[in-house]
Every structure is written in C-alpha cells, then in structure tokens.
Chains A and B, each alone.
Chain A
C-alpha cells in the first residue's frame, strides 16, 4: 500500500475516533439529567450539579450560570499550576439567599463516582481568601480545589463533582 494511502487512512481513523468519542458523550449527555425533579422541584439540565438545601433540591449549577459568574484563579502551592474557575460561594449565591446562610452551616461537595466528599462551613466557603472554587478538569467535569489545608493538594481535591448539599445548623 502506498505511503500516501496509509497516511490518509490514519487521518480518517483519527477523525472516526474523535467522532465516536463525541457521539458516545452526546448519548451519555442526552440520557443523563432530567431524572430528578420530584413534585415542585426544579428539573436538572444534563451535566449540571444539583444543589440541595436541607435535603430539598433547590436548583442546579448549570453552564448557563457561568455568564453571571466572575472567573477567578490562583496558583496551587503543590504543583505551581494555575487553578481557574468559579468560586463555590458565587455559585451557591445564585441559588440560595445569602441572608439564609449562617457561618456554621455546612456545605458538602460530593463526587459519587470517586466516592469522595468535602465538608466545609459556610464561613470557610464565604471567605474569598480560601479560594474554595470549581476548576474545569481536562474531561470537562468540575473539581473542587482550595488553599484550605484539607483541600490544597491533588489527592484532597474533589474531582468529578456531582452534588452539592447545604445543611443549616
């Protein structure tokens, strides 16, 4: 087989591979979300992160929220890598009234697929100096990062976040 033909086949295979990945992801996206939403509760958009307040679905962090959020960044001490994204505080305040929140209220950010979660107080989340924020991972899922001691290294970050829960004290 001529070299030119082999190169063309390789390029074609690459395009097919990309198409297959995008196709499978689109199928996953179309079959995810919208399953929640009990009576009176908001419906979840695919890829969005549900926000529960005292067990009740209050809303979801969805891509459309990004227009209303300011993008922030900090350089993590462990790897010297820039973490860029959106503060958890700003995300929550889009869906929850600030007056409703007390400093000792707990905010739990969970990744079901990783079996990991981080429990923070509203006081910690509300303090901008803690940089409690979501960064977009390479796979386009959200990861929770911070400069707080228990969230400042890769092993402690919460990758593939799929749930936020606020419990008032």
Chain B
C-alpha cells in the first residue's frame, strides 16, 4: 500500500451531488419552459416570466452563490445543442449563461436571499437584462441594422425588464410557498 495523501476524499465539494442533480433538473426545466410554454403575447422577452421564475427558485432551493450561474450555463449548453434561438448556438449559450450569471451576481450583491420579493425581482430583472444585452451586443458586433421602428428597442428593453421582474416576483412567491409547505425542512432532513 502506498502512503498517498487522501486529498480527493477529504476535499469538500462546493455543491453536493444532490444539489448538482437539482440544478441540472432546473436547467432542463428552463429549456422545457422555453420550448413548451407559450403566452399569446406579441411582446419581446415575455418568456422571461417562466425562466426567471425557475432561475430564482433554483437559487433559493440551492442557497449558494453560483447556483443560478450553473443553471444558466447548463441550460445554455442544452439549448445550444437543441438549436434554440435566432442567432446561433454561441449566442444561445452565452445569453442563457448571462441570465444565470446576472441573477447570481445581483443576488450576491444584495445579500443572497432569493425569498425576499424585492431582491428576487431585482435579481431576475438584471438576469433577464443580461440576456437582452448579449443579444443586442451580438447584433452590434455582427453589424445588424438599427431597429426598424425607432422606439422598438426601448419597447423590447421594457419587455425584458417587466417580464424579468415578474418572473423574479413569481420565483420569490414560489419559494415562500415551498417553505410554507415544508419543502426546505424536508431537504434539511434528507441531508
């Protein structure tokens, strides 16, 4: 037998396997929501109401900085492979990742409590805005023409802000409902 240091066994991982599975499920849910859930609205960014809810719930259930980023990153990989989005796989991957990173960063700066209505709303708004920023930035880099309607971009921006905020609000309310239902207590007992 050799005397190798057992560093691998003794190092504590940042996310447990259970948390990683939960985050992967949330990531898959983001993509499924994008494909399957439709609102009969002709407003840019309206799908944010679904996926920002999921991202905020993920950040609340796995209460660690980086959880939302991991959901964004994983959903970006899945969505990229499924060919979602108008601007190619790289744009899709980056915009989905930006959603998670933006929400995560805001949550971290505001104290990390995704159950707080104001914090969750702001985090989701920033996350969704990051998605818009990536899409818009790509447009500029690739030399896309300016908007056809003068105030069209502002309308799109407001759509992203409003639906992102609504998603965050729904996410925080979902987390509160989960707490009332004893979900977090159940998770703690499992641990």
Chain A residues proximal to chain B, CB less than 8 Å: 3, 6-7, 10-11, 14, 17-18, 21-22, 24-25, 28-29, 32, 46-49, 63, 66, 80-82, 84, 112-114, 136-143, 154-155, 157, 159-162
**Does A140 lie within 8 Å of B155, measured CB to CB?**
yes
B177 CB-CB contact with A under 8 Å? no
User: B residues engaging A (CB < 8 A)?
Assistant: 38, 40, 42, 44-45, 83, 86-87, 106, 109-111, 118-119, 122, 125-126, 129, 132-133, 135-136, 139-140, 142-150, 152-157, 159, 161
A3 touching B146, Cβ below 8 Å: no
Q: Nearest CB to that of A80 among chain B residues? A: B38
CA distance A139 to B153 in the complex (A): 6
- The answer to whether A47 and B147 touch across the interface, beta carbons within 8 angstroms, is yes
Output the nearest chain A residue to B143 by Cβ-Cβ distance.
A113
Residues from chain A with a CB closer than 8 A to the CB of B129 are: 14, 17-18
Q: Closest CB of chain B to A140's CB: distance in Å?
A: 3
Q: Is the CB of A25 within 8 A of B145?
A: no
Of all A-B residue pairs in the complex, the 6 with the closest CB atoms, nearest first, are A140-B152, A140-B147, A138-B44, A160-B144, A113-B143, A113-B144
Separation in Å of the B160 CB from the closest CB of chain A?
8
Closest to A153 in B: B83
- A32 near B146 with CB under 8 A, answer yes
Which residues of chain A are within 8 angstroms of B87 by Cβ–Cβ distance? 159
> Cβ of A138 and Cβ of B161 under 8 Å apart?
no
Given contacts A10-B126, A22-B154, A80-B38, is CB(A3)–CB(B144) below 8 Å?
no
- Nearest to B40 among chain A residues (CB) is A82
Q: List 18 extra interface pairs beyond A22-B157, A113-B144, CB under 8 A.
A: A7-B119, A10-B109, A17-B129, A21-B132, A24-B140, A25-B146, A47-B145, A49-B145, A49-B148, A80-B38, A113-B145, A138-B44, A140-B153, A140-B156, A141-B139, A157-B86, A159-B86, A159-B87
